[in-house]
Every structure is written in C-alpha cells, then in structure tokens.
Amino acid sequence: MAMKSYPPEFKADAVALYLSDPARTLASVAQDLGISRETLRNWVRAAQADGTAGAKQTGPARKPMPVPLSSDDVLEAENKQLKARIRELELERDILRRAAKYFAGETNW
C-alpha cells in the first residue's frame, strides 16, 4: 500500500480536532477523517513534542480547558446550544410517539 501524503494544514486541523474535545478518542477522530488511528496518534505526539499542539496533554485523561462562566457571551452560546438540543429531543420524542401510535393500530391481538 502506498504511503499517503497529507498537507500540514490537514495535520494541524486533525490534531486540533482531537485535542479540542476530551470525549473523543483517537479512533473516532481518525475514522471521521478517514485516516489511520496510528497516523493521527503520531501527528498528535509530533505536535506535542514541537509545542504546536497548545498545552501538552498526555495520555487518555485529557481535561477540557476551564471556561469562565461569568462571561455573558459564553452563557448565551451555551443557552443557544441547549435550546437547540431541546428542540432536537422534542422532535425525536414526537416521531417516536407517532410511530408507537401507528404500530399500535396495526396489532390484531
């Protein structure tokens, strides 16, 4: 298999994506990007060694950066995200209710 060459911007974005979300694993980020887990792991290690990955984070126990909760902008953004999530969950609930009514009407017990 031929070795692929990726542009430096792609590598930096992949490392930033992995380091930005502590809940994501190397495997999940690599799968989303269509690259090997080991390739991403090597990029993360290289970026951490160079100091280009921001704060050095080692091991699987990465911690999120603390966010100051006193900022109105942060609270508004979080509120907007929560409202969007509520709308999504309400839509899913309504779909499940309609499906349950539909399938309950088809039973001939």
Instruction: Summarize pLDDT for 34-58 with one digit per residue, the tens.
Output: 899 999 999 999 998 888 765 434 4
Measured distance CA(60)–CA(57) in Å, rounded: 9
The domain limits of the chain are 8-50, 67-109
Q: What is the pLDDT of residue 58?
A: 45
More confident residue, 46 or 59: 46
Question: What is the helix, strand, coil percentage profile of the chain, to 5?
Answer: 65, 0, 35
Q: What is the pLDDT of residue 93?
A: 92
8 A C-beta contact, residue 38 and residue 27: no
Single-letter residue type at 25: T
Q: What is the pLDDT of residue 107?
A: 65
Mean pLDDT, to the nearest integer, of 68-79?
A: 79
User: What crossing angle do the helices spanning 37-50 and 8-20 adopt, rounded to 10°?
Assistant: 90
Query: Residue 101 pLDDT more than 90?
Result: no
Q: What CATH code would you report for 8-50?
A: 1.10.10.60
